[in-house]
Chains A and B, each alone.
Chain A
Amino acid sequence: MDETLKPLETKTLAEKLYLVRFKVDSTSHLAVDDKACQECTARSCLFICPTEVYRWDEAASRVIVSYEGCLECGACRVACDANVLVWNNPAGGFGVCYRYG
């Protein structure tokens, strides 16, 4: 079958992230505040991140940050309800590295 007649391939978020080039640093450039996050009712970071970097760990009652998949868009910083999210630039050359942009 002609490739161009097929529907667009679908990809899960994990598969999409596999396509992005990252140079992962050993330390996180993002940090949350466990106490503020426990009290936070909206927890916007959990859904607003386009790569789902933030996850709620029910057992530990805290937000887990998988900074490795961060596209550095800044949305979580803008959205953080308690304004406690610490957002630093990753070290020079580290983090996301777009080939197209």
Chain B
Amino acid sequence: MAERYDCIVVGAGPAGAAAALTLAKAGLSVIVFERGEYPGAKNLFGGILYTTVLAGLIPGFCDEAPLERHVSKRRYSFVTGDSEAAVDLSFDAFNKPPFNNSYTALRARFDRWFASKAEEAGAIVVAEAVVDELIMENGVAKGARVRMEGGTVYADAVILAEGANSLLAEKAGIRPRINAADYSLGVKEIISLPEGVIEDRFGLEAGAGTACEFFGEALGPGVEGGGFIYTNIDTLSVGIACPVSVLKEKMLKPNEMLDAFKLHPAVRKFLRGGRIEEYAAHLIPEGGYNAIGRLVGNGVLLAGDCAGFVNPSLYKEGTNLAMASGVMAAETVIEARATGDFSEAGLQGYLKRLNDSFVMQDLKRYRDVPATLHSSTGLFKEYPEAVMELLERHFTVSGESKAAMHKELRRILRGKVSLWRLAADALHLRNLIK
């Protein structure tokens, strides 16, 4: 006899672990399959972990989760080929609990801990177990086929939390084939430096961290995307992200782009003396609200990245949406158990929960961001150049009168971009931060 559970969860990332924890707490039998050697072995992010949902699930998480630094500073840097204009924001209020609910973290460590909490609550987490397909009977998911001995497992419902490379959701016909314009490729290195050096170099209180984002020509003139440095305890997370469609069109090599980013004068000064510890790459679903498709099928619910739940604006938030959607998928399964209806119609409560939460509300709010970024190429070339030329002129010490200089500045700006386009783009730009 094949095994049977109330619910199967595919993937032990933030979405899967949050779902399993919620189901186990409610007393349901739940089994999680994770293809990595341990939960987190295949996962990476920037990254900043936003912890509002986690705090609800595990109130004392702060004292036991493997977190790196709380994020009390933000640095936004606008770069051209060799110059930079940056704002460095420092909030002392974020140095106190709840630390603005944001911490840097390393996913190979965090995901492992988070999945262990689901296990403590009663979920069974099986690592080194690949789910190859869902068991479908008359169009209804009845279980999963796992690549191991006795790998046929049945359940009332399956929560797919397989991440961005959504093979199973595609195979089950719930999601269409992945589209290059809706995904960015993130490439990242872990670079080690002594703890004290990181704090001095980034101007941090002991234990505090910063998130540095680089825009403009960070990936080269006219290339959509950006770069980042996040401070961990004794390492830096340094990386870039660029839409797959842009890499394709411009025939770019991600490893070379990352190397070039690290050598930019605005970046290399932070990395001095560092040692590379690891190299990693992962997709990010950045299509936003407009790229979201079906979220439930008969007996199946999609949560986290495989549903497309990443906020594509400046906030680049995915983990929190993954956890929230995992919890809501689990609540929907718990609810369906009472009625016994696990059909697509019976699982519609999931959509209502999502729509009533920050997950869909934020995705809707920033729904125009991906299109704005794809269309406003000026953001990645003309504007950074015009702004930097303007500033450089302004601060250059010369014999020229200020009046003559200002006239020259207006000429530079007009030469780079038409005023109409500037006005049109400015309207769009508001979408990025509204």
The interface of chain A, by Cβ under 8 A from chain B, is 2-11, 13, 16-17, 19-20, 23, 42, 44, 47-52, 71-75, 77-79, 83, 87-93, 95-101
B175 CB within 8 Å of chain A: no
In the complex, 16 of the A-B residue pairs with CB atoms within 8 angstroms, ordered by the A residue number, are A4-B194, A8-B273, A48-B244, A48-B247, A51-B279, A71-B279, A73-B283, A75-B254, A75-B283, A87-B165, A91-B130, A92-B127, A96-B280, A98-B107, A101-B40, A101-B107
> A77 — which chain B residues lie within 8 A by C-beta?
165, 178
- From B44, B132, B197, A101 is in contact (CB under 8 Å) with B44
A92 and B280 within 8 A (CB): no
In whole angstroms, how far apart are the Cα atoms of A77 and B244 in the complex?
Answer: 10
A79 to chain B, nearest CB (A): 5
Nearest opposing residue in chain A for B251, CB measure? A47
B108 CB within 8 Å of chain A: yes
B41 CB within 8 Å of chain A: yes
> B135 — which chain A residues lie within 8 A by C-beta?
none
The interface of chain B, by Cβ under 8 A from chain A, is 35-37, 40-45, 106-109, 111, 127-130, 132, 147-148, 164-165, 167, 177-180, 183, 185, 187, 189-191, 193-194, 197, 235, 244, 247-248, 251-255, 259, 262, 268, 271-283
> B132 — which chain A residues lie within 8 A by C-beta?
89
- List 13 extra interface pairs beyond A11-B276, A100-B277, CB under 8 A: A9-B274, A10-B259, A19-B278, A48-B254, A50-B255, A75-B183, A75-B244, A75-B247, A78-B244, A87-B167, A92-B35, A95-B42, A98-B108
> A51 — which chain B residues lie within 8 A by C-beta?
255, 279, 281
In whole angstroms, how far apart are the Cα atoms of A87 and B277 in the complex?
Answer: 28
A19 and B283 within 8 A (CB): no
> B165 — which chain A residues lie within 8 A by C-beta?
72-74, 77, 87
Q: How many A-B residue pairs have CB under 8 A?
A: 167
In whole angstroms, how far apart are the Cα atoms of A27 and B208 in the complex?
Answer: 45
- From B148, B185, B193, B194, A92 is in contact (CB under 8 Å) with B148
Known: A19-B277, A100-B106. A8 touches B271 (CB 8 A): yes
A8 and B108 within 8 A (CB): no
A9 and B276 within 8 A (CB): yes
A75 to chain B, nearest CB (A): 5
